[in-house]
Amino acid sequence: MTGVLQTLGLGLGVFSVIGWGWAETALSQPSETSSPAISLSWQRIREFFSQENDDPGSGGNHGSRPPVGLCLVSPRQGETLWHRNPVMVWQGYATVGVRLQGDGETVLWKETASEPETDVYRAYYQGEQLQLGEEYEWLFYIISQGSPAIWFPFEVMAADMYEQHAAELAALQSELEAEGADEEAIALARANYFLDNGLSSDALQAVFAVGEPSEALLETRAALVEEICAIE
């Protein structure tokens, strides 16, 4: 497996509830005794996607599931993204190729994954930053078949909204760093920020981008994959 593709040791059988509790304190209004990171937990992320999956009117993408058994976890189909270097997360055992196409079906980036140690992958897009306000398309190829197994469009948000979120995220991160928050606490706060702003794919990217996740975060990742890719 190449450097940009990393197999996730999720242990999908683990589905225990994190006993941290979830304070309902908003990120913009932390309590006097705890920081935004401390007042939140990964449990909220899990509850959000569980409720979305249970709600038939939510419009949620319960994983893109073609006949070959691949399930796209993130980004979610048809959504607008804040991140300009998206992380792909999918479930499946088949050997696949991933491509990102721009206008006129120009291939901007591609990678191949094979022989997974688990059935869940992540792939970091490593091309040039995607352009604000532009539409793109992801394609998954089953190597043995040659034709795309999944293809779907997504869009990077417009510049004005991007800059607004960028400024708010920078302020949030500065506050957390001043309080000594670690990478995972910052990722948790970012994930909650994205959920509060209706950006579920960006929230998932925050969840899966942490390099050295705790047991609680590993359990959260496993639970999210289980929920999003559940057979309906």
Do 110 and 152 fall into the same domain? yes
One domain, residues 104 and 166: no
Instruction: Tell me, yes or no, whether 127 and 145 share the same domain.
Output: yes
Between CA 203 and CA 73 the distance in angstroms is: 12
Question: How do residues 182-197 score in pLDDT, each as one tens digit?
Answer: 999 999 999 999 999 9
167 and 55, same structural domain? yes
Query: What is the structure's pLDDT at 62?
Result: 40
Q: How many domains does the chain have?
A: 2
Query: What residue ranges in 34-119 does DSSP mark as E strands?
Result: 71-74, 80-81, 87-91, 96-101, 107-113
pLDDT of 43 over the 50 cut = yes
Same domain? For 89 and 146 the reply is: yes
pLDDT computed for residue 113 by the predictor: 67
What pTM value is reported for the model? 0.75
* Residue 3 belongs to some domain of the structure: no
Last residue of a domain, one of 101, 123, 156: 156
The answer to whether residue 179 scores a pLDDT higher than 80 is yes
- Please give the residue that has the higher pLDDT: either 200 or 22: 200
pLDDT-derived band at 114, boundaries 50, 70, 90: low
pLDDT at residue 156 in the model: 95
pLDDT of residue 31: 33
Distance (Å) of CA 122 to CA 9, 14, 19, 163, 211: 11, 19, 27, 27, 12
pLDDT of residue 124: 81
What average pLDDT does the segment 202-227 reach? Answer: 90
Judge if 168 and 54 occupy the same domain: yes
196: enclosing H helix or E strand: helix 183-196
Q: Output the domain CATH number for residue 106.
A: 2.60.40.1220
Question: Do residues 55 and 162 both lie within one domain?
Answer: yes
Asked if residue 171 and residue 119 are part of one domain, the reply reads no
Residue numbers of the domain that contains 108: 71-156
Q: Assess whether pLDDT exceeds 90 at residue 181.
A: yes
Per-residue pLDDT for 64 more than 70? no
Per-residue confidence at 116, pLDDT binned at 50, 70, 90? low
Token pair for 126: 């490593």
